[in-house]
Amino acid sequence: MNLEILSAFIIATSVLAITPGPDNIFVMMQSVVNGKKYGLSTVAGLMTGCIIHTTLVAFGVSAIIKQSEVIFFIIKLLGALYLFFLAYKVFKSDASIQLSGDAVQKKSLGQLFRQGFIMNVLNPKVSIFFLAFFPGFLFSKTMSNVIQFYTLGGLFIVVSFVIFGLIAVLAGYISDYIRENSKVGVFLKWLQIIVFIGIGIFILFSEK
């Protein structure tokens, strides 16, 4: 087991969870408008949805890996290119972070859990991202690929849950700070670009 690879995976996942995106901004606004437990319920739904995507990637990619080294390299290449594309999209995007609670409707904890789950499961970009992200972080030459993918999925869920949970709990302070400090958006934008490019390069040159 290569602990350095797992450590790199945890660091990359942490940075990606911190940088603003539709999911963590949605969690933040639910907490700001309705209270932290509603934000945490949304987080639980989102992370539960990740189990479905992990399963799809684990069994699908593992089967491909067993079939061909060439196909596995193509998957890594496409994954790296996809991450470079995400970096380009972030580069072209506005660095400002828009936070508005006007459109946030009051819902029950169960409704928010279901909404978070459905938002995640029905978003094909999550599976595509997992497909691009996970193969480069396989950490053992002896362990089953399926187990490795589930391990990575579990780490991704735990790390993201902790960070999203902190966002939900500290939502009021975080949202006020972001509104008052325009430079935060610029910093997080470039941090996300660097992480996407770095992960893409790492995946491209990683070995099976």
- Domain coordinates of the chain in residue numbers? 36-93+108-205
- Could you tell me the pLDDT band of residue 105, with boundaries at 50, 70 and 90? low
The conformation of residue 83, written as its DSSP 8-state character, comes to H
C-alpha 177 chain-centroid distance: 23
51: closest CA among 116, 135, 141, 139?
Answer: 116
30: closest CA among 194, 164, 162?
Answer: 164
62: closest CA among 154, 133, 155, 131?
Answer: 131
Q: Any idea what the Cα angle at residue 54 is, between residues 51 and 59, rounded to 5°?
A: 130
C-alpha 78 chain-centroid distance: 18
Tell me, what's the pLDDT at 65? 67
Tell me, what's the pLDDT at 64? 73
The encoded tokens of residue 104 equal 């946030």
- Average the pLDDT over each of 9-13, 110-114, 187-191 and give the range with the smallest value: 187-191
- Above 70 in pLDDT, residue 208? no
Does an H or E element contain 72, and which?
helix 69-92
C-alpha 73 chain-centroid distance: 23
Mean pLDDT of the chain: 82
Tell me, what's the pLDDT at 72? 74
The conformation of residue 95, written as its DSSP 8-state character, comes to S
- Residue 31 amino acid letter: S
End-to-end CA separation in angstroms for the chain:
13
- Could you tell me the pLDDT band of residue 178, with boundaries at 50, 70 and 90? low
- Residue 138 amino acid letter: L
Q: Cα(47)–Cα(186) distance, rounded to whole angstroms?
A: 27
Percent of the chain topping pLDDT 90: 24
For residues 143-161, average pLDDT: 94
User: Do 38 and 30 touch, CB atoms closer than 8 A?
Assistant: yes
For residues 22-49, average pLDDT: 86
What is the reported pTM?
0.78
Q: 60 versus 139: which is more confidently predicted? A: 139
- Could you tell me the pLDDT band of residue 98, with boundaries at 50, 70 and 90? low
Q: 193 versus 161: which is more confidently predicted? A: 161
User: Do 198 and 80 touch, CB atoms closer than 8 A?
Assistant: no
Angstrom distances, CA of residue 202 to CA of 155, 157, 178: 18, 21, 31
- Could you tell me the pLDDT band of residue 128, with boundaries at 50, 70 and 90? confident
Tell me, what's the pLDDT at 186? 77
- Above 80 in pLDDT, residue 141? yes
8: closest CA among 201, 167, 168, 178?
Answer: 201
Q: Cα(134)–Cα(55) distance, rounded to whole angstroms?
A: 12
- Above 90 in pLDDT, residue 154? yes
For residues 128-151, average pLDDT: 89
- Could you tell me the pLDDT band of residue 62, with boundaries at 50, 70 and 90? low
- Above 60 in pLDDT, residue 101? no
For residues 92-104, average pLDDT: 60
